[in-house]
Chain A
Amino acid sequence: MPILNLIFERSRVKTLEDYGELIQNILNLNIAFNIVNYALTENGIAMRINVPEVKLKSVVAILKENDIRIENPTVSINFDLCVHCGACISLCSSEALISNANFELEFNENKCIGCKLCENSCPRDAISFR
């Protein structure tokens, strides 16, 4: 099933009520999708969804109509600079950034939802966004 990464933006999301309102807006769009993963950020909700192939066109149309950004994972890790400290790992709720058995950083691009919570977390400036 096709996968989309979405950013539901709102200028400020601080309280649980704010998130509640945002989720209500998403439900009001009345589209069928499965949430693969999501992350709450200070600017809204980043969400990775999968959509049945047949509905893809209509879903994308509705999202565009409502100014909802469709993001492709844009994070890249420069492993020449990375020292595998792990300062980015705790920020990643979608398990795209994980520590392997050797405590080395591994980046799974397929799991990244583009939430950007790892922005400004790397002491080596090894994380960049295209």
Chain B
Amino acid sequence: MKTYEEINQKIHDGSAIVLTAEEMIDFVEENGVEYAAKEIDVVTTGTFGMMCSSGAFLNFGHTDPPIKMEKLWLNDVEAYHGNAAVDCYIGATKSASASNFNYGGGHVLEDLLRGRKIHLKATAYATDCYPNTEVETDLNLEDLNQAILCNPRNAYERYTCAVNTSNKTIYTYMGKLLPRLGNGHYSGSGELSPINNDPNYETIGVGTHIFLCGGDGIITGEGTQHNPKNHFGTLMVQGDMKSMSSEFLAGTSLAGYGNTCFIGLGVPIPILNENIAKNCAIKDEDILTTVQDYSNGRLNRPVLANLSYAELKTGTIDVEGKEINVSSISSLSKARKIAQLLKNRIKKGTFALYKPVKPISKSTNFKTMRVAKVSTFVREVMKRPVIVSVKSSLSEIAKTVLEKQVNYAIVTDYDQQLIGFLTTFDLTKHVAQIGQNLEDIMIPRDKIQTISASEPVDLAIRKMQKFKISSLVVIGDQNRVVGLITAEDLIREENRGGI
């Protein structure tokens, strides 16, 4: 048993024995937990991932005459200004432009760390004490009174591996995912990740001193969406940006998704007892996660496989019998570097441990939003489709349309995959001898608007309005045609009070 005071004394003397979480695995394997607990003083961890819940409080100092900023932009990125006169919160995910994600809040933070000037523009209404209504200037980090990185949710314990089973490429916060299980992405540094090395929060607590983006930070509490019971614990952290480096904070643009930023974070774990030593020897093999299908657009994504970080780090995994390439979207090399740098700082005596002043909750529940208005889904409103085979003759199709008393037919192949769409108007074209074959007169697949059965009807309404059409083909599992939803169905549902 060691105490914080004893370990800090050793750090001060330069005699502390420090290992990274990766080195600790080998040490425990060779020497056993009992010896490791006695011998090792601190184990360092690290992670470098995109953390959307990041941002900074900035204070610009007062102008003369003074202004109480009401709206404000930093390099065209809008910052939140619901606080004092010249304070703001710049969030990592806010984009300068809604149409592209070339530059966002994360880039503003990175530019500040790079020493670049940031263009500030603010407007205000005048008051007796704040008469100024407009200010425009260029400021760098040194010009600011405070720049406090304050991230409500960082250091995810682990994350899911994202794949895409649909027929089209999707762009998500887990990166670009190719169709038909073309690739997969995971995040988190596994055996190097802070909370995985202290899963019971025995040393990680409120007040813990951490490495944050190259500088000094502290843990201020549990993070938002902290979900410790399901191994999705998170931490709220803050630190002085003036101590940080752009090597460990990087703004990002994810195509088709938006802006965010990479955050480098390292937590030292004091080896106070054998149990802590044992936990710090956790291996990627023992850190489990799931492979989830990100193509269904819903909160609960289908789980396709269970596996460990060790399997993920090999670069190929097996999902539903298919071997697919996976890669990390958080930097494992930077995570390693952070653990190493933190180790060096502790060994040199420049980084002391703080004893937590309050523990992090191990029992917080994670809830979904309670929505007063319950969504109706396409599946509940759609009707059964009238489907004809692509091999049918036009007279067969005409007969089907008459029999079913509809004014359309959906054309599919043997596997019920969508090929085309035919209205009675299109059939008339044949009678008028404008086209001889089905292919000549039907609407081809790439011109047909579809919707998934599991999507909310609101999305169906939006699609119909956007494309000025009155029906959508509904696609279900394995991309099979399962229904048709029309404006008429939606009106009927609305009258029923469903929408």
Contact = CB atoms under 8 A, between A and B. Distances in A.
Interface string B400-436: 0000000000000100010000000000000000000
Interface in A74-121: 83-93, 99, 102-104, 117, 120-121
A125 B336 CA distance: 23
A14 B328 CA distance: 27
Contacts of B179: 42
Interface string B249-268: 01011111000101000000
Contact of A91 (B171, B176, B446): B176
B386 interface: no
A55 interface: no
A84 B189 CA distance: 13
Interface in A1-60: 12, 14-15, 17, 42
Interface residues of B, number: 40
A12 to B, nearest CB: 6
Interface string B53-74: 0000000000000000000000
Contacts of B235: none
Nearest to A89: B327
Given A104-B333, A124-B250, A86 B167 contact: no
A93 B179 CA distance: 14
Contacts of B48: 83, 85
Given A89-B327, A120-B256, A83 B262 contact: yes
B417 A86 contact: no
B92 to A, nearest CB: 12
A47 to B, nearest CB: 17
Contacts of A42: 168-169, 179
B174 to A, nearest CB: 9
B178 interface: yes
Contact of A90 (B171, B326, B413): B326
Contact of A120 (B252, B255, B324): B255
B169 A90 contact: no
Interface in B117-135: none
Contact of B185 (A90, A92, A120): A90
Contact of B331 (A85, A120, A125): A85
Nearest to B171: A120
B327 A123 contact: no
A17 B415 CA distance: 12
Given A87-B175, A99-B315, A123 B329 contact: yes
B184 A90 contact: yes
Interface residues of A, number: 26
Contacts of A83: 48, 250, 262, 331, 334
By DSSP majority rule, is chain A's interface helix, strand, loop, or mixed? loop
Contact of A86 (B176, B252, B332): B332
Contacts of A84: 331-334
Contacts of A102: 333, 336
B185 A123 contact: no
Contacts of B252: 123-124
Contact of A14 (B167, B250, B315): B167
A91 B178 contact: yes
Given A83-B250, A123-B252, A123-B253, A93 B331 contact: no
Contacts of B176: 87, 91, 120-121
B95 interface: no
Interface in B324-361: 324-334, 336
Interface centre among B175, B252, B315, B332 (most CB of A within 10 A): B175
A103 B333 contact: yes
B50 interface: yes
B468 to A, nearest CB: 23
Contacts of A91: 176, 178, 182-183, 325
A91 B326 CA distance: 8
Nearest to A40: B182
Given A83-B48, A86-B327, A125 B334 contact: no
Contacts of B253: 123-125
A121 to B, nearest CB: 4
Contacts of A125: 102, 253
Nearest to A97: B327
B328 A85 contact: yes
B365 to A, nearest CB: 31
Contacts of A104: 333
B437 to A, nearest CB: 17
Interchain residue pairs A-B with the least CB separation, the first 9? A123-B252, A103-B332, A120-B255, A89-B327, A90-B183, A90-B327, A86-B327, A103-B333, A121-B176
15 contacts: A14-B445, A42-B179, A83-B250, A83-B331, A84-B333, A85-B330, A90-B183, A91-B183, A99-B315, A99-B332, A103-B331, A103-B332, A103-B333, A120-B256, A123-B50
